[in-house]
Amino acid sequence: MSRRQFSVPVRNEPGPPDDTGCTILHVDMDAFYASASLLSRPDLRGRPVIIGGSGRSVVLSATYEARAFGVTSAMPMARARRLCPQAVVIPPDHRRYAAISDAIMATFATFTEHVEPLSLDEAFLDVSGAVRRLGPPARVAQMLRDTIADEQGITCSVGVAASKFVAKLASGLAKPDGLLVVPRNETVAFLHQLPVGAIWGVGERTEEQLHRLGLRTVADLAHTPVETLQRALGDVAGRHLHELAWGRDPRPVERQRQEKSIGADETFAHDVDDPAVVHRELLRLSDRTAARARSAGMSGRTISIKVRFADFTTITRAKTLRNHTDVSREIHATAVELFDRLGLQRARIRLVGVRLEGLAPSSGTPIQATLDEPERGWRDADRAVDRASARFGAGSVRPASLMPEPSGSQDGQPDLS
């Protein structure tokens, strides 16, 4: 939900809430990237910690202690450091996040096969089938929370409701480390106490439009003629928000769909114009992309790059290979080829990205060995790196050209965190 915070409406009914028919769960990990990073730094628990790089990078996550100072995800790191100068900054560990996310999704699958991931750290679950085995939805939600805490050492918040929309609202209101049930027959009363900005999909601009109409609460929105909302917001958005304001959300939980692409990009600490620096960054991004593909059991045929210049102009280029691949070296070679074809002469580059598309399960896709691949090839080497990273942490094994630069290196080096 929005990063804006709202108070949990007070229930007037005594006793635990009735969770009958509330079989939709929204599970959201609490400050996931920060919590996962602190697993190896328990000494930092209870302190303001920011996950991010340096220079012009943005905040990936922050502990609640740092959020108390106004630090939010996607905030420029420079601003975050000004807001909370005492915070400890930790570089992200994407391999660790992916591994923990995989384990969490596997835990979800032990409760129900109806899981719809939204990102690495949140998902919808339909536990209709699980209640017959495990008990009422609220009990299932608590068992799930306990399992994740025991197995992964991090916490999550869960919203329990009769629809996806209300469950997602509830999980946000339960944070951190909480569980909130919205009974089916109290859905409208629950919603109508909230500000319009609480509705999933209402961003700051839409909220401003609603405020100009004099609509401050969800109740205001619900009692506004749908035609008025359609004139102000458009036919589709106006009717959609009106339906949500009355708690009407018939969307089912959709089982996990296959990713269409896997990739990574990086903003340089300073604009760069040295092809060698770009080649080096493409290697790092290719290595990360290939590792994510192997972790997901996928390979791809199309490799694309993204280049953003200092004036924010962005271009993309792609090449489709004869065979699928998940090999870092092959992805990097293609990415460099695409970049070099651009023929850029001293162009100031702000960001580059690498993406693997046309994905298919690796187990069912033959991957052709290249002529220059030794008997124990690059694919075996990649998998050895994966095993080492899983055991000793991301970056424990890396290409020599990606070793940290000695102190006093020149400006224009990319942020390698």
Q: For 332-355, what is each residue's pLDDT tens digit?
A: 999 999 999 999 888 999 999 999
Choice among 116-130, 288-302, 322-336, 384-398 with the minimum mean pLDDT:
384-398
Given pLDDT bands bounded at 50, 70 and 90, which one contains residue 330?
very high
pLDDT for residue 7: 47
254 is catalytic: no
102 labelled ligand-binding: no
The boundaries of every CATH 3.40.1170.60 domain in the chain are: 33-94
Question: Is residue 177 predicted with pLDDT exceeding 50?
Answer: yes
Rounded Cα distance between 77 and 275, Å, is 26
Q: Which residue has the higher pLDDT, 336 or 365?
A: 336
Buried-state track 380-392, b at ≥16 Cβ within 10 A, e below 16:
ebbeebbeebeee
Given pLDDT bands bounded at 50, 70 and 90, which one contains residue 225?
very high
Given pLDDT bands bounded at 50, 70 and 90, which one contains residue 187?
very high
Given pLDDT bands bounded at 50, 70 and 90, which one contains residue 408?
very low
pLDDT for residue 268: 85
Q: Among residues 122, 207, 281, 330, which one is catalytic?
A: 122
pLDDT for residue 313: 85
What would the CATH number be for the domain defined by 33-94? 3.40.1170.60
Both tokens assigned to 252: 């089912």
The burial class, CB within 10 Å (0-12 / 13-18 / 19+), for 203 is: exposed
Q: Which CATH superfamily is domain 261-390 in?
A: DNA polymerase, Y-family, little finger domain (3.30.1490.100)
Both tokens assigned to 315: 């271009």
Question: Is residue 413 predicted with pLDDT exceeding 50?
Answer: no
Average pLDDT over residues 284-311: 90
Tell me the CA distances in angstroms from 69 to 1, 5, 17, 43, 175, one per residue in order: 20, 14, 34, 20, 17
Question: Is residue 167 predicted with pLDDT exceeding 70?
Answer: yes
Name the CATH architecture for the domain at 193-245.
Answer: Orthogonal Bundle (1.10)
Average pLDDT over residues 402-417: 42
**Cβ neighbours of 415 (radius 10 Å):** 18
Given pLDDT bands bounded at 50, 70 and 90, which one contains residue 269?
confident
CA atoms lying within 13 Å on the CB side of residue 142: 9
pLDDT for residue 265: 86
The boundaries of every CATH 1.10.150.20 domain in the chain are: 193-245
pLDDT tens digits, one per residue of 190-208: 999 999 998 877 888 889 9
Given pLDDT bands bounded at 50, 70 and 90, which one contains residue 370?
very low
pLDDT tens digits, one per residue of 107-155: 998 899 899 998 889 999 999 998 888 999 999 999 999 999 999 999 9
Question: Is residue 75 predicted with pLDDT exceeding 70?
Answer: yes
The boundaries of every CATH 3.30.1490.100 domain in the chain are: 261-390
Q: Which residues contact 110 (CB under 8 A, 6 or more apart)?
A: none
Q: Which residue has the higher pLDDT, 388 or 30?
A: 30
Average pLDDT over residues 312-341: 92
220 labelled ligand-binding: no
Q: Are 30 and 156 in contact (CB under 8 A)?
A: yes
Q: Which residue has the higher pLDDT, 159 or 391?
A: 159
Query: For the CA atoms of 54, 88, 154, 253, what is the dihedral angle to 10 degrees?
Result: -40
What does pLDDT average to over the chain?
84
Tell me the CA distances in angstroms from 407 to 274, 399, 404, 410, 411, one per residue in order: 19, 19, 9, 9, 11
pLDDT for residue 204: 84
Rounded Cα distance between 386 and 395, Å, is 10
pLDDT for residue 402: 52
Question: Is residue 53 predicted with pLDDT exceeding 60?
Answer: yes
Q: What is the CA radius of gyration of the chain?
A: 24
